[in-house]
Homo-oligomer: A and B are copies of this chain.
Amino acid sequence: MADKVNLAAQFGRFDDHWSPKIVATLNDYDVKVVKVQGEFVWHQHDETDELFLVTAGQLRIRLQDRDDVVLGAGELFVVPRGMRHCPVADAETHVLLLEPRDTVNTGDAERTGTAGTRLD
């Protein structure tokens, strides 16, 4: 059985941006942590909602045809399936992601994405 996860300790184990690390699994969902800075790519996930929970910093989620959502620490937002979105962070921001296993971070975008790697 997996041990408990200290989020701050996990964030301290890597420095790269936009590269989710799987820290826990719940049924067929992965809990990932990711450091982000700058602008990602516009994309959508046609098969699943996607949960963002900010633990440090500020994340702006640009959304097609509606106002941006701006998340500070302790705020979460669920991007509905099929909604185009683009995450942006002016300064480095720490985000917990929750989504079904094998969900690729770039969704339908033509840029190569990742479903996350495991921190051993």
Q: Which of A31, A66, A99 neighbours the largest number of chain B CB atoms within 10 Å of its CB?
A: A31
Chain A residues with a Cβ closer than 8 Å to the other chain, count: 34
* B7 engages A78 (CB within 8 Å): no
Interface of A is mostly: strand
Count this chain's copies in the assembly. 2
Instruction: Let me know if A19 is at the binding interface, CB within 8 A.
Output: no
Q: CB of A24 within 8 A of chain B?
A: yes
The answer to whether B49 touches A80 (Cβ under 8 A) is: no
B78 x A6 contact (CB < 8 A): no
Q: Which residues from chain A sit less than 8 Å from chain B, CB to CB?
A: 1-8, 24-27, 29, 31, 48-51, 55, 66, 69-71, 74-78, 80-81, 83, 98-100
